[in-house]
Amino acid sequence: MNDSFDWTRALLSCLIASISAFVAFEAVGHREQSEKRQLWITLGSLTLGVGIWSTHFHSLLGWHAGFRRFYDTRIIFGSVLLAVLGSWLALNLISRPSPGSRVNRAIASLFLAGGITGMHMAGMIALHFAPEAQWSIPWLTASFCIAVLLSYGSLSLLSSRNYDGARMASRGLGATTLGVGICLAHFTAMHAMMLPKGIRSIQTLTNMSGPVLGRIGTINVFVFAFGLLILSYHRSSRWMQLAHEARVQAEDASRQAERLATAGKIAASIAHEINNPLEAVINLLYLMKDEKNEACRQEYLGQAQSEVNRISEITTHTLKFYRQQSAPELVDVTDLLETAIVLFQAKMDRAQIHVERFWEPDLPLVLCRAGEIRQVLANLVGNATDAMPTGGILRLVLRKREDTLEISVADTGCGISEETKQRIFEPFFTTKGAAGTGLGLSISAEIIARHGGQIELMSSTKPEDRGTQFRICLPCHPEQPTPTFSEASRERTGVLKTALMTG
């Protein structure tokens, strides 16, 4: 065929084919995350088939044949079906559980190439030439072979094992390869068409002009591609939403796990703390049974009453620790800190740890969830106790600083190394081996951030100034809003500060 082409149209046709292929590959990729696997393959097949059809008719807009062209719409409809069917068979094969099979790819390439060349032949037959056009078999064979080879290369990229790791690159390169293959196959087949002089296209009642078909095809492919991309975007957004919800649930589960771990440590301490006064009560009651002197009996009874009161105090503080609040309330932080001390008092007594309290008078109330702040303070007191196994001083300070309440928990332990300081608030980072969960300080920081506060760490390993101090600042204005958990997570880098001292 010696007629001329507008190669600008040819390049645009190649772009249309590549876009269609890319969107089709995106649809195939979504099948892995969807229960409606066949729906995505069908949508991809429709997009690719319409793209092949549109590429053909858009490129014909640049064909200067020297005569008006009219297409039989019945055959044109059949040509679309050929392209869609070839695409559907190919994408179904390549989407099987063993997509890496060369046999699968080869057969899929034959189906896709058959759809490409079959659609082209049907589209040209729809012109109803008079006299009839002749075709060069070698050139038609070459067109089919080009379609097969480039389809195979494209589908190989689509089904490669590193597909997930380089998804966009693989799909983009595969779509471009297929787009070029569709265009090369089209123009090679055009070269195979031999038109005699004086040829014309016969117009009938069911015909449609070439320019109209070309424009319809271009519009269709972009509508299909745009619609499917929007659908893919919404599906990706849904998966992102589900991932976010799963992350929030995991964070809540981590907080609960840390609470249970703390409960385990406290339970051991409470068991020891309650056992001692219970034994004392039993012994005192035994002595009272045989004591004749009324004064001694009253003394034993008073001592037993004192031990029972001690058990009652431990029980009360324990219940406070586990009581959950559904909403923030005005709380006296002094009471929360005293509860934490009581829970670890037995362990501190055994380790000979002396507690120093410094409370400023007239401390303001804090709007908070008491159970959560109590958990934070218990965690800090527990960590400080663990840091001084051979004794030391635990300094607890409460004071007002402008519009915040400052809580300081300091120990005279061995201090924290520079490397550990950098990671101290990371989830699952622990220095206690199997005995630690690595969640305590991470969750404590999240809780403080959620309450609009800050937590700072200062530590030194110098012999003359050894020890660690955690300082918490909480807003003490009731009108200050409490951020949500997700907001706290996003703002954590802004509110969580680590003031590092040289070790």
Place of tokens 């309450």: 451
CA dist 475 and 364 (Å) reads: 10
Answer whether 24's CB lies under 8 Å from 51's CB. Answer: yes
For 171-222, the pLDDT digits (tens) are 778 888 888 888 888 888 887 776 767 666 666 555 555 455 555 555 555 5
- Could you say which DSSP state residue 132 is in? P
Q: What are phi and psi of 329, to 5 degrees?
A: -145, 160
Mean per-residue pLDDT of the chain: 75
CA dist 203 and 207 (Å) reads: 6
SS3 for 414-452 is CCCCHHHHHHCCCCCCCCCHHHCCCCHHHHHHHHHHHCC
Q: Who has greater pLDDT, 364 or 220?
A: 364
What one-letter code names the amino acid at 486? S
Domain range summary for the chain, segments of one domain joined by +: 4-247, 325-495
Q: In this predicted structure, what is the pLDDT of residue 263?
A: 61
pLDDT at residue 284 tops 70: yes
Q: In this predicted structure, what is the pLDDT of residue 396?
A: 95
User: pTM of the predicted model, to two decimals?
Assistant: 0.42
For 408-453, the pLDDT digits (tens) are 999 998 888 888 888 887 776 676 665 555 667 877 888 898 888 9
Q: In this predicted structure, what is the pLDDT of residue 67?
A: 65
Q: In this predicted structure, what is the pLDDT of residue 223?
A: 55
Answer whether 404's CB lies under 8 Å from 364's CB. Answer: no
CATH architecture of the domain covering 325-495: 2-Layer Sandwich (3.30)
Cβ neighbors of 44 (< 8 A, separation 6 or more) are 23, 24, 25, 26, 27, 28, 87, 91, 228
State the Cα angle at 290 between 287 and 294, rounded to 5°.
Answer: 85
Tallying the residues shown for the chain, one arrives at 503
Q: What are phi and psi of 123, to 5 degrees?
A: -65, -35
Cβ neighbors of 24 (< 8 A, separation 6 or more) are 44, 45, 47, 48, 51, 87, 91, 175
